[in-house]
């Protein structure tokens, strides 16, 4: 008995029952198609989030005052919140080796007023490096200069949302003087719009001013709320964090074994946090789709089982003309595998088609990856073997005498 003949016999049997074979396949088709589509959506969202985060600046390092207590550790005193100073900023600028840009961060909330329009927002005090770190560009006008920082000039650069709210008539804001609370500030530039980020935050709701201005004229404080920096490359983020940690520990005169009184986070950490959330969502989607694949498998088992009973006489005949148990077993197993693999192929095609459709019609971020296709294909083959085995075994164990006389 050779494999080719068994294959032919199985193919013939499927062909003789086209409708039934197709309906059996349908379970697998739906299962595989949904697994592929779900995973494509999951992977797509994950990639789009990653992209959004890197747009925010994937090399970004955030230095915050106070020790990192992790979630739930709310033990920060006011004193602890004042550990970052301008000297720290200056030393990082002067000494840190792996950074492309550094900017202090101080911000104050309040009301922005121009004419009879007002808007509730906040002013962020930064240095010029902030543009590099956050990957912002000035669309019209200019960024404030080093000289503006030195003189704590009352100038600002506005985001698109602010412009829209304060200048609803569409007038050019450059050169106009707006008021932040009671402080007049001259608009020198407008930032290019970045839209919403993946977490739904409006990245254009932003007012940038020299940090010196915010510290002296708005907040009247001599400590920083944070320092933002950008590593030279994403890979250098870790080493840059170590470098900055050393500089700050020296500055803060922390002894060996003493806890940091500041915390450093990289965008990468946040990004991995986000992607792990997305991964969980993807797994959830895949599980739901996987269940439908299992249901499809049970469908195969059900049909094959009925088919064994229905074809008892045929099995008896095959045995009487010399088919061994193993031949019958192989035939039914091959049938089950053929059905599930064919269903798998169709399912893959439909899954890919559906994903593409979502991409073009709904503009959802989808991404089909080779491993998801491979995985679902593998799973449906295993399904075929697993669920085909029992009915096949039953067929092989039939008594030929009873089988051939079965009515």
Partner 1 sequence: MDNIRRDFVVGEEVVHALRGVSFTINEGEFVTIMGTSGSGKSTLLNILGCLDTPTSGEYKLDGTPVRTMSKPQRAILRNRKIGFVFQNYNLLAKTTAVENVELPLMYNGSVSARERRERAVTALQRVGLGDRLNHKSNQMSGGQMQRVAIARALVNDPAVILADEATGNLDTRTSFEILVLFQELHAEGRTIIFVTHNPEIAEYSTRTINLRDGKVRDDVVNHKILNAAEKLATLPVNDD
Helical spans, DSSP H, in 321-369 = 325-357
Distance from C-alpha of 21 to C-alpha of 61, rounded to nearest angstrom: 58
Distance from C-alpha of 240 to C-alpha of 100, rounded to nearest angstrom: 10
User: CB under 8 Å to 20, separation ≥6 — which residues?
Assistant: 303, 307
**Which region among 134-142, 234-242, 325-333, 385-393 touches partner 1 (by CB under 8 A)?**
325-333
- In the list 110, 226, 325, 365, the residue contacting partner 1 (rule: CB under 8 A) is 325
Phi-psi label, residue 66: left if phi above 0, alpha if psi -120 to 50, beta otherwise: left
Q: Say whether residue 321 binds partner 1 (CB under 8 A).
A: yes
Closer of 338 and 348 to partner 1 (Cβ): 338
- Closest approach of Cβ 346 to partner 1, in Å? 24
Q: Say whether residue 393 binds partner 1 (CB under 8 A).
A: no
Phi first, then psi, for residue 317 (nearest 5°) are: -65, -50
- In the list 120, 276, 320, 360, the residue contacting partner 1 (rule: CB under 8 A) is 320
- Closest approach of Cβ 343 to partner 1, in Å? 22
**Which region among 83-91, 187-195, 290-298, 322-330 touches partner 1 (by CB under 8 A)?**
322-330
- In the list 238, 302, 314, 359, the residue contacting partner 1 (rule: CB under 8 A) is 314
What distances in angstroms separate CA 28 from CA 118, 220, 307, 320, 357, one per listed residue? Answer: 60, 68, 18, 34, 21
Instruction: Draw the binding track, 188-227, toward partner 1 (x: CB under 8 A; -: no contact).
Output: ----------------------------------------
- Closest approach of Cβ 6 to partner 1, in Å? 8
- Closest approach of Cβ 308 to partner 1, in Å? 16
- In the list 323, 337, 338, 380, the residue contacting partner 1 (rule: CB under 8 A) is 323
Size of the site for partner 1 (CB under 8 A): 24
Residue whose pair of structure tokens reads 């979630």 in the numeric block: 71
Distance from C-alpha of 180 to C-alpha of 350, rounded to nearest angstrom: 57
Distance from C-alpha of 380 to C-alpha of 54, rounded to nearest angstrom: 37
- Closest approach of Cβ 368 to partner 1, in Å? 39
- Closest approach of Cβ 336 to partner 1, in Å? 19
Closer of 16 and 76 to partner 1 (Cβ): 16
- In the list 327, 345, 375, 385, the residue contacting partner 1 (rule: CB under 8 A) is 327
Q: Say whether residue 8 binds partner 1 (CB under 8 A).
A: yes
C-alpha 345 chain-centroid distance: 28
User: CB under 8 Å to 398, separation ≥6 — which residues?
Assistant: 308, 312, 315, 316, 319, 328
Q: Say whether residue 306 binds partner 1 (CB under 8 A).
A: no
**Which region among 99-107, 110-118, 181-189, 318-326 touches partner 1 (by CB under 8 A)?**
318-326
What distances in angstroms separate CA 245 from CA 106, 129, 241, 242, 263, one per listed residue? Answer: 20, 20, 6, 5, 9
Q: Say whether residue 238 binds partner 1 (CB under 8 A).
A: no
**Which region among 4-12, 275-283, 287-295, 354-362 touches partner 1 (by CB under 8 A)?**
4-12
Helical spans, DSSP H, in 115-192 = 129-134, 146-150, 160-166
Q: Say whether residue 11 binds partner 1 (CB under 8 A).
A: no
Distance from C-alpha of 303 to C-alpha of 173, rounded to nearest angstrom: 73
Q: If 0-12 CB within 10 Å is exposed, 13-18 middle and 19+ buried, where does residue 269 land? A: middle
- Closest approach of Cβ 327 to partner 1, in Å? 6
**Which residues are registered as beta bridge partners of 126?**
210
- Closest approach of Cβ 19 to partner 1, in Å? 13
Footprint of partner 1 (CB under 8 A): 1-2, 5, 8-9, 12, 16, 313-314, 316-327, 400-401, 404
């Amino acid at each position: 008995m050779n494999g080719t003949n068994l294959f032919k016999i199985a193919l013939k049997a499927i062909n003789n029952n086209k409708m039934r074979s197709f309906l059996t396949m349908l379970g697998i088709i739906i299962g595989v198609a949904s697994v592929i589509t779900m995973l494509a959506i999951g992977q797509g969202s994950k990639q789009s989030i990653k992209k959004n985060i890197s747009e925010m600046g994937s090399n970004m390092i955030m230095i915050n005052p106070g020790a990192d207590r992790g979630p739930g550790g709310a033990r920060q005193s006011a004193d602890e919140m004042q550990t970052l100073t301008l000297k720290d900023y200056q030393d990082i600028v002067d000494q840190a080796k792996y950074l492309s840009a550094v900017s202090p961060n101080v911000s104050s909330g309040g009301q922005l007023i121009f004419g009879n329009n007002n808007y509730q927002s906040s002013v962020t005090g930064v240095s010029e490096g902030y543009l590099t770190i956050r990957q912002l560009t000035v669309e019209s006008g200019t960024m404030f200069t080093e000289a503006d920082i030195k003189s704590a000039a009352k100038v600002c650069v506005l985001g698109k949302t602010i412009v829209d709210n304060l200048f609803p008539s569409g007038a050019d804001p450059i050169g106009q003087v707006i008021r932040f609370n009671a402080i007049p500030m001259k608009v020198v530039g407008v930032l290019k719009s970045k839209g919403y980020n993946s977490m739904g935050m409006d990245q254009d709701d932003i007012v940038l001013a020299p940090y010196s201005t915010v510290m002296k004229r708005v907040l009247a404080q001599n400590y920083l709320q944070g320092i933002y920096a950008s590593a030279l490359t994403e890979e250098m983020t870790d080493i840059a964090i170590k470098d900055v940690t050393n500089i700050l520990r020296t500055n803060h005169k922390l002894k060996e074994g003493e806890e940091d009184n500041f915390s450093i986070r990289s965008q990468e950490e946040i990004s991995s946090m986000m992607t792990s959330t997305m991964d969980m969502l993807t797994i959830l989607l895949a599980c739901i789709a996987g269940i439908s694949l299992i249901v499809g498998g049970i469908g195969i088992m059900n049909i094959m089982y009925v088919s064994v009973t229905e074809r008892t006489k045929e099995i008896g005949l095959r045995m009487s003309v010399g088919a061994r148990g193993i031949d019958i077993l192989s035939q039914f197993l091959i049938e089950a595998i053929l059905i599930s693999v064919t269903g798998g192929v169709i399912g893959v095609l439909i899954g890919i088609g559906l994903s593409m459709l979502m991409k073009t019609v709904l503009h959802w971020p989808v991404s089909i990856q080779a491993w998801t296709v491979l995985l679902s294909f593998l799973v449906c083959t295993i399904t075929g073997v697993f669920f085909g085995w029992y009915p096949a075994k039953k067929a092989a164990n039939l008594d030929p005498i009873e089988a051939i006389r079965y009515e």
